[in-house]
Amino acid sequence: ERERERERDTHKHFKIPEIAMEVVYVCEWEKRPKSNHSPSISLVCAWSCRNIIAFTTDLKNEDDDKDLSHMIHIIDTEHPWDVYSINSGHTEVISCLEWDQSGSRLLSADGDGQIKCWAMTEHLVNSWESTQGSSVEGDPIVALSWLHNGVKLALHVEKSGSTNFGEKFSRVKFSPSLTLFGGKPMEGWLAVTVSGLVTVSLLKPSGALLSASESLCRLRGRVALADIAFTGGGNIVVAATDGSSSSPVQFYKVCVSVVNEKCRIDTELLPSLFMRCTTDPVRRDKYPAVTHLKFLTRENSEQVLLCASSQMGSIVECWSLRKEGLPVNNIFQHRSPVVGEKQPMILKWRILSATNDLDRVSALALPKLPISISNTDLKVASDTKFCPGLGLALAFHDGSIQILHRLSLHTMGVFYGTSGSSQRVGDEPTIKRQRAGGPTVHFRALQFSWTSLALVGVDNHGKLHMIRVSPSMGQILDMNTLLRHLLFLLEYCMVTGYDWWDVLLHVQPGMVHNLVEKLHEEYMRQNQALQQVLATRIVAVKASLCKLSSATAARACDFHAKLLLIAISSTLKSLLRPHVLNTPDKSPGDRLAEICAKNTDADIDKVMINLKTEEFVLDGPPLQSLQQLIQWVGDFVLYLLANLPNQGSIVRPGFGFLRDGSSLGMLREMMVMIRIWGLLKPGCLPIYTATSDNQDSMSLLFRLLTKLWLCSRDEGHPQEPDETLLDECCLLPSQLLVPSMDWLPINDGVITKIQTKHQLRLQFGKPYTLPGLNPNASQRMDNLRCLHMGICPTEDSKACTRCGCVTMLRSPNKTNAMKQWEQRWIKNCLCGGLWRKIPNSLP
């Protein structure tokens, strides 16, 4: 006790940075609906790994006084005004929201025991429908979780300088909560009710739902708060309390199994604990209610966080489950021990740390970043001032937020609220500020992003606040260290497939070039197999980064064009079939790539002779339906070559391809493929407007493209294009009409507008656009089907939340070849972003 008090005293004078957190945007309701201001209605908020946020409010409609607390509001962080409000059908206040591991499905539960599973309609982030559900009639749900799928990563700060992604982000051995035949994890959810029931629903592969309920223990009691965690062995641990700080916090082991096509639940009582504040004579009756109960992480059932409160204040305690030797009675200590006999061990909860008296806590957020907390990792994190994943956030009724270290509970950073002043912290252990007149704006729901670089809060007026959280908690870092921290988290997002929007919040325009170069260097150090897996993802990350700076905007166009090029190349090659049934070692697409790489001839017909043309035979309709993709390839080659002499000091779109040997080789392969298909179906060839009737445009472009490819195919030692090639490219505009390439539309998201220190004020339902921008003044393009839709298209469209790419919602094509192309981006954009439906009047 004395050591803890001494340690706490040394941190009383800990200098808390003033710029650890800052608001980047606030989104409010346009009609300013009334708030119930009912403390009994708890607001909930959930943030998915794909940066979709679901939240509830306690608002009432001003017009008809209709209660809106049964609605679920869903936004993507890049377009927060585009809110989708679900009339959920819940009859009571929603008490829990929980995303699955993929971020594509949402669970909601209410005070009547109803649980609903929501999924996207047509893969649109702003259209949702309830697909399945379960219920425990009249029994309010207090805790809810998806079953664990057995995937767990550990992020090692100590290895952040390693060249191997496998060392930085290691896979931890972890068993799923329940497995199907072959070890595949079974999907489902688990909930705890206020009467002490645990209910499980399992999703069978057929789509049917298996449900069962069981009491947590024989003597059922009221459960006011509960939380759910998972063990590496596949078990589930439930923590529960009746809400009184003088009562024990109980822990239960829950095992789920399927026996004879029926769900079975087995429960077992585990060691319990009493909060230390109730045993302290000074604080015994000071904090009568337990208001928050959370495991520190969902994969760690051995550390729990408790918050006890009164009307005046709160106290937070962190407990850890440890193995301890069981003391043996003196009678048995002197007998001769049996060989190999070990001292009996028991599990016991021990307090790890506790705070001083705090202001009253209104909300709590725990980090999702799975940072390793070994001694070495913690030391390196401390030395390099790497803080993501180490802090938990507490929101207070005075409007402030504190970030505390998840183990020691020492203050790492402070946010004084939207109306608070940034005065320095003195020696007072409790951070306070002067309250303004009237009810104080404070957060009633709080959630960390998946890299812990952002916080979202819903206040008591229903406004949504997006808060940028410094990776060093405001401590001054040199540029190289800051870049290393951001690079580390971008690599983590790349490996896991999580969205990296919250990392971009911290990237300033001057950092973009260095980050892109360093990311490419790290990627090139990985083995060939991993490079192949991450090939498109790294291009998407680079494109997102380059959009943040006007100096690199042209490179963003190149990266998006590369994503389209890779996808078109893969689709066209996949249409090829071997002529004979006994398939050789290599597919026709692989043989095409190999022959084109070896044959450096600039004559397209000579390259074509070396190929088995019977493998390229396709029916007429599929070829004709692919014409717009083939036209894009032809136009792109012409655009690159015609702009080769113009690429000087100003970087223009297309510059990135001039030294990219692999992309130029890909274009060369497609030109050969298109030439062969043109012999079968001349109507599928790209159309060029030539000044001469006898001009063989494809042959001319292939010859120039081959010369450019020969200069850059050795990416380690690229050569400059010779004068002859430049002269011939200069003549191209006089021989062929050079098309204007349709690059992506202007991004209408917020990420490029929140790099300054000024916060954006937004309204739900009212799009934020750049001043003077008229979105309807130009032709609309279907960026993936390469079709013109006109200025006022009648077809419904969808846009990517990440890159802004626009395409028609429903396919106008009937052929299998085009359906195969469209299947590549039906769920996500080529860059990995989510789709959102857009009105016809918007870009």
pLDDT digits (tens, 9 = 90+) for 718-762: 788 889 999 999 999 999 998 887 777 777 889 888 877 788 999
Q: Which residues of 733-745 are buried (b: 16+ CB within 10 A; e: fewer)?
A: eebbebbebbbbb
pLDDT at 414: 92
**SS3 state of residue 250:** strand
Inter-residue contact 175 to 232 (CB < 8 Å) = yes
| Dihedral angle over CA of 664, 666, 668, 669, nearest 10 | 170
Q: Which helix (H) or strand (E) holds 630?
A: helix 627-642
For 189-212, b/e burial (b = at least 16 CB within 10 A) is: bbbbbbbbbbbbbbbeeeeeebbe
CA-nearest of 687, 669, 685 to 677 is 685
**β-pairing, 314-325 with 345-354?**
antiparallel
Distance CA 14, CA 11 (A): 5
- Give Cα separations from 73 to 68, 88, 98, 418, 668 (angstroms): 10, 10, 13, 23, 49
Amino acid, res. 58: D
- At residue 587, the pLDDT reads 81
Rounded Cα distance between 68 and 59, Å, is: 5
Radius of gyration of the chain (CA): 30
What type of residue sits at position 745?
P
Instruction: Give per-residue pLDDT as tens, 305-360.
Output: 999 999 999 999 999 999 888 777 777 666 655 655 677 788 899 999 999 999 99
C-alpha 764/C-alpha 461 separation (Å) is: 14
User: Residue 334: its pLDDT value, please?
Assistant: 64
Q: Which residues contact 109 (CB under 8 A, 6 or more apart)?
A: 94, 95, 96, 115, 116, 141, 144, 191
Residue 216 has what pLDDT?
Answer: 92
Residues in the chain with pLDDT values less than 50? 1-18, 420-438, 771-773, 842-843
| pTM, two decimal places | 0.90
Write out the DSSP string of 59-128: EE-TTT--B-TTEEEEEETTEEEEEEEEE---SS-EEEEEE-TTSSEEEEEETTSEEEEEEESTTBTT-E
- Answer for the pair 412, 387: CB distance below 8 angstroms, yes or no: yes
**Residue 580: what pLDDT?**
66
pLDDT value of position 32: 61
- DSSP-derived letter for residue 179 is B
- pLDDT on residue 2: 44
pLDDT at position 423 is 33
**Confidence (pLDDT) at 9:** 42
505: closest CA among 583, 424, 451? 451
Calculate the alpha carbon distances from 682 to 615, 666, 692, 818 in Å: 18, 22, 19, 18
Residue 30: its pLDDT value, please? 77
- How do beta strands 760-764 and 21-29 pair? parallel
Asked if 57 contacts 41 with a C-beta cutoff of 8 angstroms, the reply is no
In degrees, to the nearest 5, what angle opens at C-alpha 72 toward C-alphas 70 and 77?
A: 155
Neighbours of 794 (CB within 10 A): 7
Tokens of 253: 């082991």
Give the distance between the most distant pair of CA atoms in the chain: 110
Please, are residues 782 and 807 in contact by the beta-carbon 8 Å criterion? yes
pLDDT at residue 694 in the model = 82
Task: Please report how many Cα atoms fall inside a 13 Å half-sphere around the Cα of residue 532, on the Cβ side.
Answer: 3
Predicted local confidence at residue 35, as pLDDT: 61
* Residue 229: predicted pLDDT: 96
- Angstrom CA distances, 52 to 126, 368, 370, 387, 588, stand at 10, 15, 19, 23, 41
In the prediction, which pLDDT does 264 show? 92
Tokens standing for 283? 């604080």
Token readout for 144 is 């809810």
> Hey, what amino acid is at 67?
D
Would you state the pLDDT for residue 7? 41
